[in-house]
Amino acid sequence: MKAAVYFGPEQIRAIDIPDAALRQDHEMLVKVTATSICGSDLHVYRGALDPIMDKGKSQTGHELIGEVLAVGKSVGRFRKGDRVSMAYSCSCGHCYMCEVGQTAHCETTRKAVYGFGVPFGNLNGTHAEAMVIPHADGHAILVPKEIPDDAALTLSCNLPSAIIANKLADIQPGESVALIGCGPTGLMTLDIALQRGPGRTVAVDKVPHRLAAARAKGATAIDASQADWKDQAFAHCSGRGFDKVIEVVGLPETLQMCLDIVRPGGTVTAMGVFTDSTFNLNLADVFLRDITLHMNGFANVQPFMWQGLRMLEHGVIKPQEYFSHIFALADVDKAYAMFQHKSDGAMKMLIRP
């Protein structure tokens, strides 16, 4: 079968590998109907994990909509022919950390993540014709046929992350809100935030077509590449800083941007995936300004998949609008390059095996 494999920085391409097959009773074999590329996949693409990747073998991808081909003897929730998705992190559903909702920190799978190579459990990925889902009963979910493939794909990571971001930010009616990062997850976060009745909402990014999308939703769009972006932002919160700031990028500079524009007593929710090992946090500043800081990029999405599914079923959010391009699996290298460079109005890539 064909699957996308990591060969080095900016070198991910589809090759022939042995067919996926069941080996454990708790596993489920799934035909990949569609998959996509998440912003966090770009860390792998850029080479952030290069020294500890198994080049030429490590598969990529963690967003899935698929059809069950076979199940192991101990799988009880699924059967052949079911339409399914699964959380990006593999969790058993019954260890202590899973029971308390910290599914990304599963003690059975040891924080395993699909498509992130040796550092995260060496699991297979969704950028393939078929894949194996271990501990299927613990973190997979049935998806009704009425939900389009592109919308359903966001259940693996993007949409639950957007729900978590809003839960942690706890936006109250009338509050001022700033969003740093207008990629697909950021825009889904904005979709939900705007329904919570904020008084003023500002969206900050450097990519023109992403800023245009945020502006079309009703947010005030600010280009972070402009030298006076911070002054522009403060003009929309009476100069005191924003009540709530949500970060969906995962870079030290974007986290610092959040801290620069949050008001005393305000909340920063950082949902981006951070791969840098250090950050120069001014503890005295955070302490004296009574800032609440949530770091949740390694998101526990499984507990929020059902809520995301319900939002899709009722049309509360329509994430299919963020898919801008369709690629065949054989062209996954082109999809990665386009997503990385944000060319041709790229938002989110739909990949068909």
Read off the CATH number of the domain in which 15 is found. Answer: 3.90.180.10
pLDDT in tens, 55-112: 999 999 999 999 999 999 999 999 999 999 999 999 999 999 999 999 999 999 999 9
Tell me which residue range forms the domain holding 90: 2-157+300-352
User: With the CA atoms of 216, 222, 223 and 229 taken in that order, what torsion angle do they form, in degrees rounded to the nearest 10?
Assistant: 180
For residue 310, give Cα distances in angstroms to 132, 318, 320.
26, 12, 15
Is the pLDDT assigned to residue 277 strictly greater than 90? no
| Same domain, residue pair 22 and 71 | yes
Average pLDDT, the chain: 97
Amino acid identity for residue 278 in this structure: T
Question: Would you list the DSSP string of 125-169?
Answer: -SSBSEEEETTHHHHEEE--TTS-HHHHHGGGTHHHHHHHHHHHH
Check residue 276 and give its pLDDT.
87
| Same domain, residue pair 33 and 18 | yes
pLDDT over 90, % of the chain: 98
| Same domain, residue pair 236 and 274 | yes
| Same domain, residue pair 36 and 9 | yes
| Same domain, residue pair 238 and 324 | no
| Same domain, residue pair 135 and 188 | no
Check residue 183 and give its pLDDT.
96
Tokens of 352: 């068909």
Provide the domain count of the chain: 2
For residue 304, give Cα distances in angstroms to 22, 112, 153, 166, 242.
27, 18, 14, 12, 27
Banded model confidence at residue 52, pLDDT cuts 50, 70, 90: confident
Pick from 273, 295, 317: which residue ends a domain? 295
8 Å CB contact between 266 and 245: yes
| Same domain, residue pair 8 and 153 | yes
For residue 217, give Cα distances in angstroms to 8, 213, 294, 295.
38, 7, 26, 26
| Same domain, residue pair 315 and 260 | no
Question: What average pLDDT score do residues 115-139 get?
Answer: 96
User: What's the length of the chain?
Assistant: 353
| Same domain, residue pair 16 and 139 | yes
Q: Which residues contact 40 (CB under 8 A, 6 or more apart)?
A: 62, 157, 250, 273, 297
pLDDT in tens, 71-82: 999 999 999 999
Banded model confidence at residue 114, pLDDT cuts 50, 70, 90: very high
Rounded Cα–Cα distance for residues 193 and 246 (Å): 10
